[in-house]
Structure formats: C-alpha cells, structure tokens
C-alpha cells in the first residue's frame, strides 16, 4: 500500500514538473485572415528584413526582423496574452520567430507562414 502511494505521489510530482508549455499554432493564411477579421487588438508581425517589408507587406503589419525579436518585441506586444500573428516570406523565419515568442512567454502566437501564400491584399 505504501509503495503504491509512493509511486502515485512520484507520478503526480513529475507531471507537475513537466516542461511542456505553450506552443505556437501553425495556421493557414485563410484561417489567419478569418481570425484577424474577427478580432481586435492583435499584433501582425512581419519578421522579414526591412528591405523585404518595404517591397511588399500585409496592411497593418509591423516589421520586426527575426534577429531583433527578443530585444524589441515588448515594444509592440507588452501583453503576453495578446494575439500575435507572424509571417515572413516562405514560412521558415516565421516558425523560428513563433518559437522564440512562446519561449518568451507569449501564449497566443499564430504562425501563418509566408507572404508568398497570402492570397489577399498587400501593399
């Protein structure tokens, strides 16, 4: 009996110590558009270079290059529970940025890949 209680206690303790945390959510461009159209107060991050951003961007996007995310994200998204939508050119940098954002404690991170898959308006 004591052994079973000890095993149960260990299982519960180890479960509570699990490092599994929040994850970013990979969504389609269509789902991102639908969610953003229905939401207010979200942040749309373009993690490409300033040159890429100046060539073409999604209206309302804020340019925050991948290599500046950790240092500057708080200036555009101070609330860790704020919805953040992330994109780049093809999806590689947005996936990296989404991972960094989750590691920084952001809980509602949506990675919809690249602008090359965005069938909607750009500027």
- Distance CA(96)–CA(112), nearest Å, equals 12
| Radius of gyration of the chain from its Cα atoms, rounded to whole angstroms | 18
- Distance CA(80)–CA(2), nearest Å, equals 43
Residue 28 main-chain phi, psi, to 5 deg: -80, 165
CB 114 within 8 A of CB 36: no
What single-letter DSSP state applies at residue 48?
S
Q: Which of 45, 47, 61, 88 is catalytic?
A: 88
Q: Is 17 a catalytic residue?
A: no
* Residues with active-site annotation: 88
């Amino acid at each position: 009996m004591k052994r079973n209680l000890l095993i149960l206690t260990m299982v519960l303790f180890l479960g509570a110590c699990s490092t599994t945390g929040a994850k970013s959510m990979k969504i389609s461009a269509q789902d991102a558009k639908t969610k953003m159209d229905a939401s207010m107060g979200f942040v749309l991050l373009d993690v490409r270079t300033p040159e890429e951003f100046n060539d073409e961007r999604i209206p309302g996007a804020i340019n925050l290059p991948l290599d500046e995310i950790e240092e500057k994200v708080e200036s555009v998204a101070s609330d860790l529970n704020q919805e953040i939508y992330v994109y780049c050119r093809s999806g590689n940098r947005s996936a990296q940025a989404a991972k960094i954002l989750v590691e920084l404690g952001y809980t509602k991170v949506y990675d919809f890949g690249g602008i090359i898959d965005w069938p909607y308006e750009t500027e």
